Chains A and B, each alone.
Chain A
Amino acid sequence: MDILLPVVILTSLATVFAVVIVFVNKKLAVQDDPKVEEILSLLPSANCGVCGKAGCADLARSLVEGKAKIEDCPSCSAQSKAKIAKILGGDIAKFEDTLVICACCGGNACDDKYEYQGYGDCASIELIAGGRKACSNGCIGQGKCNRLCPYDAIQIIDGVAYIDNTEDSKCRQCGICITNCPKKIMKRIPAKAEIYIACSSCYKGKDVRSMCKKGCIACGLCAKICPQSAITMKGNLPIIDYDKCNACGDCLAKCPTKVIRWLKHD
């Protein structure tokens, strides 16, 4: 009798609950839109929240309801973006893939206006007289981007942020560093770019040379010698038109301060 009673009670309890679960699952199942599951499987499911939604499941649902655009999720790979667009039925809009670079190479080479001893990160240093660097649009180097990057793709080398875009790059272009950098020197450039300008100074050459040994001195040589005339000088800084640039590398060789650099190899 001692064995029969517990067996009967537990088995009946388990059966009752199993029946209720099965009944509930069958009868009250709310048909989730199958597209949502499909899209969710294509999203990177890093739940980084950059798209402003509470995680990828939320993004998938709002994509189906049309409340969000696939571009909101920057760390989603190109093929899955194309697949998701196909699931959503829209035409495969031209997804302009981008890469993220740090448009500054000064760091320790750029003099400091004051020596910052205190608490906090780039944002707090920025509050005091526009940061400790002499050059007001240069990287402060306190590593806020390095800490916030969910994919650990940014390194602080010699006091300046550097994003490795070579083949084994961890950067998923999610854009957290762009929004959080107080100096706004993290920039998106088209994926097909081969070279980039590692400086965003707006000063004349004479002032730059007095502040930073590595900054662009706005000599304009790159613009003059570029065979495809892809480079134009705008406000003491060269701007590359990536549709014309064929990565011949003449400007890179000519640049006296080596501010123009290869993007995908060294």
Chain B
Amino acid sequence: MKDRFKGVIEPFSNGIVKNNPTFRLVLGTCPTLAITTAALNGLTMGLATTFVLICSNFLISLLRNVIPDKVRIPAYVMIIAAFVTVVDMVMAKFLPDLHKTLGLYIPLIVVNCIIMARAEAFSNQNAPLPSVMDGLGTGIGFTLALTVMGIIREFLGAGSFFGIEIPYLSNYAMTIFIMPAGAFFVYGFLIVLFNAAVDAIQKKIDAKSAGQKHHVLHAESAEPEAANNEGGAE
């Protein structure tokens, strides 16, 4: 029972941290850079993508033995496009202004590399339930990344937080962060922070698990060039 449970939860937790689509796998970069001029946009785009990701992962893993390999790509693309159009229509009806701000980028969820990558890499080989969990995990990882990007860019670029103007800050806002150049900057530095953090944690885990296994030759020398990770109790 334990490993079956792990088999389901594992892809979920993977999706968020270990292979977080935006920071680790660097997938789905088009909406990440374009939409995150405001935190609310990032959040909605993330949730819309998560919905499409879950449904398409589920359906593709259901049909994985039925779809012949020759027409694999058109079939997947059609399934994904169907869900995206549903999201597009529902959003146009119930969230019109948000639909206007996301505009062109909603149909572009279809070609968002994450969905196709998860479909090809994961859900066409695994059972529906792990695929859905993987879709959920990756989706939430993507949404978190987008929202964080949105918050930073909105805070620095427009001096507001989720649309609420911060009185004093907004007349010192650096509009560079709203422009494309700022997007690339923020995205690059966030990847650095994320990688450094995950590597540091990984190093600590290795150090703990490695324990005494260190060879005599290496033991006394610390890694000279990993400058930025804090020493940590060895």
Contact = CB atoms under 8 A, between A and B. Distances in A.
B218 A22 contact: no
Counting chain B residues whose Cβ lies within 8 A of the other chain, the interface size class is: 10 to 19
Interface stretch (A75-83, A130-138, A151-159): A151-159
A17 B218 CA distance: 61
Given A155-B218, A156-B225, A266-B217, A17 B70 contact: no
Contact of A17 (B74, B216, B217, B224): B74
Nearest to A168: B213
Interface of B is mostly: helix
A266 B74 contact: no
B70 A22 contact: yes
B217 A162 contact: yes
Contact of B224 (A22, A156, A164): A156
Contacts of B209: none
Interface string B93-121: 00000000000000000000000000000
B70 A25 contact: yes
Interface string B64-107: 00000011001000100000000000000000000000000000
A157 B225 contact: no
A21 interface: yes
Given A143-B225, A157-B221, A158-B221, A21 B215 contact: no
Contacts of A166: 215
A247 interface: no
B225 to A, nearest CB: 6
Interface in B101-144: none
A14 interface: yes
A251 to B, nearest CB: 19
A266 B215 contact: yes
A21 B70 CA distance: 8
Contacts of B224: 156
A18 interface: yes
A59 to B, nearest CB: 24
Contacts of B218: 155, 157
Interface string A8-44: 0000001001100110010000000000000000000
Interface in B191-234: 215-218, 221, 223-225
Given A157-B217, A162-B217, A21 B225 contact: no
A30 to B, nearest CB: 15
Interface of B: 70-71, 74, 78, 215-218, 221, 223-225
Shortest 10 CB-CB contacts between residues of A and residues of B: A157-B221, A266-B215, A266-B216, A25-B70, A158-B221, A266-B217, A18-B71, A21-B71, A143-B225, A156-B224
